[in-house]
């Protein structure tokens, strides 16, 4: 009898499942249909091309892709190449300086803007304007400024300062600092806007309480405000970090990797080997290592922004 009694319930439960699945599928059907092109784009272009890149990085592909597997030979050659090792070193040096200085200068400028100064909108627009330019334009502008003959050095010497020297783009020891100046000029304004949005989100009561307690302003920023801007800081680090890994057009426009290979970067290495050297396997191995670097940046950010919130 017990078995017979449970059968109608089981049948009812089974009969409701198709209806539940149907309602779930038809819920917001318009939005789901509208999202299909983007889903297909992600699966085909991003996921598919990433899998294609990793797959052929283990082959001996030259001018055209071919299924001639060589294991990790391309990666062994990659890290045995002096040009690649210099590219990694340059990226680490440029990236560390750019990340620290962009965040620091962006935050300091945001603090100044947050003082309710006059013509704030005008200053904010001026600071953000370089970010609207492409890195190619930025590189060409700074290439002219730093040109030893036609740029700032030549101008100052023509005015009588014959000992003035500003030849960083032709000096292997200083060329990374030339790239850094151009990169900061373009990126600091955007970081400032992000930081300013975070500062404007701080409750005014916190500032009043800090003043009542006699806490200095600088300490309020460091001990109270910055921890509250954790989301803005993490987002800024991710945006700046991913841009550093993808650094290419600024280098091509400003130094083209020179003098020699003293300002080479991984993205330029990938492009030169894939399209200039006709070595797809080597270029894809280098691009896979760049992908790994981006994942090292993105995975902790995704965990902090999404994974950690569910546990709190």
Q: What is the pTM of this model?
A: 0.81
Q: How many CA atoms lie within 13 A of 53 on its CB side?
A: 19
d(CA 66, CA 30): 42
Q: 43-57, pLDDT tens digit by residue?
A: 888 888 889 999 999
Q: Would you say 174 and 181 are in contact if contact means Cβ atoms under 8 Å apart?
A: no
Structure tokens at 154: 């030549």
Q: 69-97, pLDDT tens digit by residue?
A: 999 999 999 999 999 999 999 999 999 99
Q: How far apart are the first and last CA of the chain?
A: 48
> Where residue 295 falls among pLDDT bands split at 50, 70, 90?
confident
Neighbours of 302 (CB within 10 A): 13
Neighbours of 83 (CB within 10 A): 16
- The position carrying tokens 């209806």 is 19
Sign of CA dihedral 176, 179, 184, 187: negative
Q: So what's the pLDDT on residue 26?
A: 66
Of 135-139, 156-160, 292-296, least confident by mean pLDDT is 292-296
Q: 298-307: list long-range contacts, CB under 8 Å, 24+ apart.
A: 298/238, 298/242, 301/234, 301/235, 301/237, 301/238, 304/234, 305/231, 305/234
In order of their start, the domains of the chain are 1-56 (no CATH), 81-307 (1.10.3720.10)
Report CA-CA distances (Å) from 158 to 129, 150, 151: 31, 10, 11
Q: 146-194, pLDDT tens digit by residue?
A: 988 888 998 999 898 888 888 899 999 999 999 999 999 999 999 999 9
Name the average pLDDT for the chain. Answer: 85
- Give the residue from 280, 295, 292, 291 showing the smallest Cα distance to 57: 280
> Where residue 3 falls among pLDDT bands split at 50, 70, 90?
very low
Q: Would you say 200 and 131 are in contact if contact means Cβ atoms under 8 Å apart?
A: no
Structure tokens at 71: 């294991």
Q: Is the pLDDT of residue 2 over 80?
A: no
d(CA 116, CA 262): 44
Give the distance from CA 192 to its chain's centroid: 16
Q: Would you say 142 and 182 are in contact if contact means Cβ atoms under 8 Å apart?
A: yes
| Cα diameter, the chain | 110
d(CA 219, CA 225): 9
d(CA 281, CA 139): 30
Please tell me which residue, 26 or 169, carries the higher pLDDT value.
Answer: 169
The β-bridge partners of 59 are 69
């Amino acid at each position: 009898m017990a078995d017979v009694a449970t059968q109608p319930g089981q049948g009812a439960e089974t009969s409701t499942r198709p209806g539940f699945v149907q309602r779930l599928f038809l819920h917001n059907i318009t939005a789901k249909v509208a999202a299909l092109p983007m889903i297909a784009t992600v699966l085909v272009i991003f996921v598919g091309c990433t899998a294609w890149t990793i797959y052929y990085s283990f082959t001996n592909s030259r001018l055209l892709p071919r299924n001639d597997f060589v294991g990790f030979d391309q990666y062994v050659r990659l890290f045995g190449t002096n040009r690649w090792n210099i590219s990694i070193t340059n990226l680490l040096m440029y990236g560390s300086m750019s990340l620290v200085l962009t965040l620091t200068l962006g935050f300091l400028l945001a603090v100044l803007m947050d003082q309710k100064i006059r013509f704030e909108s005008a200053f904010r627009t001026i600071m953000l304007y370089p970010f609207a330019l492409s890195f190619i334009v930025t590189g060409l502008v700074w290439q002219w400024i730093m040109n030893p003959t036609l740029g700032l050095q030549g101008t100052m010497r023509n005015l009588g300062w014959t000992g003035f020297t500003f030849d960083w783009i032709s000096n292997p020891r200083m060329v990374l600092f030339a790239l850094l100046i151009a990169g900061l000029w373009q990126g600091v304004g955007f970081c400032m806007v992000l930081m300013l949005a975070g500062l404007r989100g701080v409750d005014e009561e916190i500032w009043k309480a800090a003043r009542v307690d006699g806490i200095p302003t600088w300490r309020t920023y460091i001990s109270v405000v910055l921890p509250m801007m954790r989301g803005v800081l993490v987002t800024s680090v991710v945006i700046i970090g991913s841009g550093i890994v993808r650094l290419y057009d600024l280098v091509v426009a400003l130094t083209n990797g020179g003098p020699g290979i003293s300002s080479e970067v991984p993205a330029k290495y990938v492009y030169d080997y894939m399209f200039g050297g006709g070595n797809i396997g080597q270029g894809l191995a280098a691009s896979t290592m760049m992908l790994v670097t981006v994942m090292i940046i993105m995975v902790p950010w995704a965990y902090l922004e999404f994974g950690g919130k569910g546990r709190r």
